[in-house]
Amino acid sequence: MRYAILLLGAPYSRQASHSALRFARALVARGHGLEGVFFYHDGVHNAARLAAPPQDEPHLVDGWKALNREQGVPLQVCIAAALRRGLLDEREAARHGKQGHSVEPPFELTGLGQLVDLGLRCDRLVTFGP
Amino acid sequence: MLLHILNRSPATSLVYRQALTAIGPEDRLLLIEDGVQGAMPQLVRHFEGLEGRLFALREDLASRGLEGHCDPAVQVVDVDGFVLLTEEADRTVSWY
């Protein structure tokens, strides 16, 4: 089946990110296709390039990156939710006159239309709330 | 048939009441994260009428030291069982 995940919870504040990543891994292991993970509301903090959790804790950002690297899962971040929380890729940083950037590939800043598209295209859309 | 997913304990949040009003006669309810507290014998009465349709996630029970303490009315599933529940349902609804 084709699955998509909507993640609304901030990493390390709520369990949502851990739950979503664990579910994503289980989906793929069962042979399903994960067509995308959409990060929205405080979930956009999962895309923070500079996240540096203690080494003995799960690294959620790296976990999502690994999922992309190994399975090609698109990591889509709501651009409106991201910008107002200081999460900008290189292009948006330049556009807003900011030094440095806080989001990098494989995370991509995108619009809500992508979430609608995932919802229409996939057999299941599973939400992990805060 | 819908799979409802609840991540809040009935002891600390009333969102379970909204979920209960929305759960259809065939629908299932999966308790995850702090929601697994609702699988304890002391709290399971909040989910009366869901016998056979009430599930709790094993990993979240284990991380809270609650595995093995569930009420018999609750079916414990691991994350693979979670995926299976989403396969069997037409759609999922998350309550938080």
Give pLDDT tens digits for B13-59: 999 999 999 999 999 999 999 999 999 999 999 999 999 999 999 99
Domain that holds residue A18: 2-128
Tell me which H or E stretch contains A21: helix A16-29
Rounded Cα gap, residues B85 and B28, in angstroms: 9
Q: Quote the radius of gyration of chain B (alpha carbons, Å).
A: 12
All residue ranges of chain A with pLDDT < 70 are none
Nearest residue of B to residue A31 by CA position? B83
Cβ-contact A108, A73 below 8 angstroms = no
ipTM associated with this complex: 0.96
Task: Give the burial string for A17-39 (b: 16+ CB within 10 Å, else e).
Answer: bbbbbbbbbbbbeeebebbbbbb
Please tell me which of the candidates B79, B94, B96 has its beta carbon nearest to residue A22: B79
B78: CB partners within 8 A, 6+ apart: B57, B58, B59
User: Min CA distance, B83 vs chain A (Å)?
Assistant: 6
For position A36, what pLDDT does the model report?
Answer: 98
Active-site residue set of A: 78
Please tell me which of the candidates A15, A26, A129 has its beta carbon nearest to residue B83: A26
Residues of A in contact with B33 (CB under 8 A): 15-16, 19
* pLDDT bracket for residue B84 (50, 70, 90): very high
For position A52, what pLDDT does the model report?
Answer: 97
For position B43, what pLDDT does the model report?
Answer: 98
Q: Which CATH class is domain B2-95?
A: alpha beta
For position A99, what pLDDT does the model report?
Answer: 96
Residues of B in contact with A32 (CB under 8 A): 83
Q: What is the CATH number of the domain that holds A51?
A: 3.40.1260.10
For position B60, what pLDDT does the model report?
Answer: 98
